[in-house]
Amino acid sequence: MGPLKNEPQKPKEGKLLFIDACVRGDESRTRGIAVPIVAALSTRYEVEKIDLTSMDISPLTPSSYAERGKGNTPEWAEKAARKIADADRIVIAAPFWDMSFPAVLKAFFEQVSLFGITFEDNGKKCVGLCKCKKVLYVTTRGMDIPTGDPREQGTPYIKALSYLWGLGEVETIAAWNMDYISPEKIEEKISGCVIEGIRLAKTF
Ligand SMILES: Cc1cc2nc3c(=O)[nH]c(=O)nc-3n(C[C@H](O)[C@H](O)[C@H](O)COP(=O)(O)O)c2cc1C
C-alpha cells in the first residue's frame, strides 16, 4: 500500500541515477533484479533513469575525439556527465557479456568521462569530481563465475572507474551459472538477488 492521502511524505535523502544497460530489455534477468531494488530505493531517493538501450551511443571516433579536443562535447553526453557528478547514489544494471559488460556501457562511460565534470587533475594525479558515495552494480552471468573471480571483469572495471570519478564504495549483486540451471533455479536466484538488494536498499 502507498502512503495515505494526508500522510506527510518523508523528504528524499538525495538523487539516485539508474543506468540501465540491459540490452535484452524486458527479457533481461538483470533488469528483473534491478527494477524492484530501484523501486525500493525510490522511497529514499529521487530516481532518474538513463536507459542506454534506447540511445544511439558510439565510442569516440577520430572526428568526435578531435571535436572533444576543441571543447565540443555532444550535448547529451555533457548532460549525462553532470547527472553522474550530481548523483548521491548510482545503480548500474548490466548483463555479463564477453567476461565483462555490454560495449554500450563502456561507450557510455567513454562519452561521459569528461574532464572538469566527472574528474580533473591536480597536477599530480586525477581527482574525482562526483559526489556519489555508493554504487550498486547488478548483473547476471551465464557461466559459473562468482563475483571476485579473476574471469569476472565487470566489478573490477566499475571499481576502477569509481576511483577515477570519485564514486565511493562499489557493491555488486550478481547471480551466476544462469545459462546452465533449470528455470526454477533461475527464478530462485533472481528472487534471492532481489531480496538481497531490497535488504541492502535500507542502508544504501
Ligand atoms: C552477447 C552475449 C555475450 C555473453 N557473454 C557471456 C560471457 O562471456 N560469460 C558468461 O558467463 N555469460 C555470457 N553471456 C550470458 C549472459 O551473461 C547470461 O545469459 C545473462 O544472464 C544474461 O543477462 P540478461 O538476461 O540480463 O540479458 C552472454 C550473453 C550474450 C547475449
List pLDDT tens digits, range 25-53: 999 999 999 999 999 999 999 999 999 99
Query: Which atom, in ligand 1's list, is nearest to the CA of 140?
Result: 21
- Ligand 1 atom with minimal separation from the 145 CA: 11
Pairing between β-strand 134-140 and β-strand 45-51 as defined by DSSP bridges: unpaired
Q: What is the mean pLDDT of residues 18-31?
A: 98
Closest to 171 measured CA to CA, from 200, 135, 133: 135
User: Residue with the nearest Cα to atom 8 of ligand 1?
Assistant: 98
Q: What is the mean pLDDT of residues 112-119?
A: 98
Quick: pLDDT tens for 51-95: 999 999 999 999 999 999 999 999 999 999 999 999 999 999 999
Confirm or reject CATH 3.40.50.360 for domain 14-201, answering yes or no.
yes
Q: How confident is the model at residue 113 (pLDDT cuts 50, 70, 90)?
A: very high
Contact call for residues 140 and 176 (beta carbons, < 8 A)? yes
Q: How far apart are CA 183 and CA 25, in angstroms?
A: 19
Taking the centre of ligand 1 as the mean of its atom positions, its distance from the CA of residue 73, in whole angstroms, is 32
Beta carbon of 141 within 6 Å of any ligand 1 atom: yes
The closest residue, in CA terms, to atom 4 on ligand 1 is 97
Q: Is the CB of 202 under 6 A from ligand 1?
A: no
The residue ranges of every structural domain in the chain are: 14-201
The predicted model gives 164-193 an average pLDDT of 98
Full 3-state SS string of 99-159: CECCHHHHHHHHHHCCECCCEEECCCCEEECCCCCEEEEEEECCCCCCCCCCCCCHHHHHH
pTM over 0.85, yes/no: yes
Render pLDDT for 97-107 as a digit per residue (tens, 0 to 9).
999 999 999 99
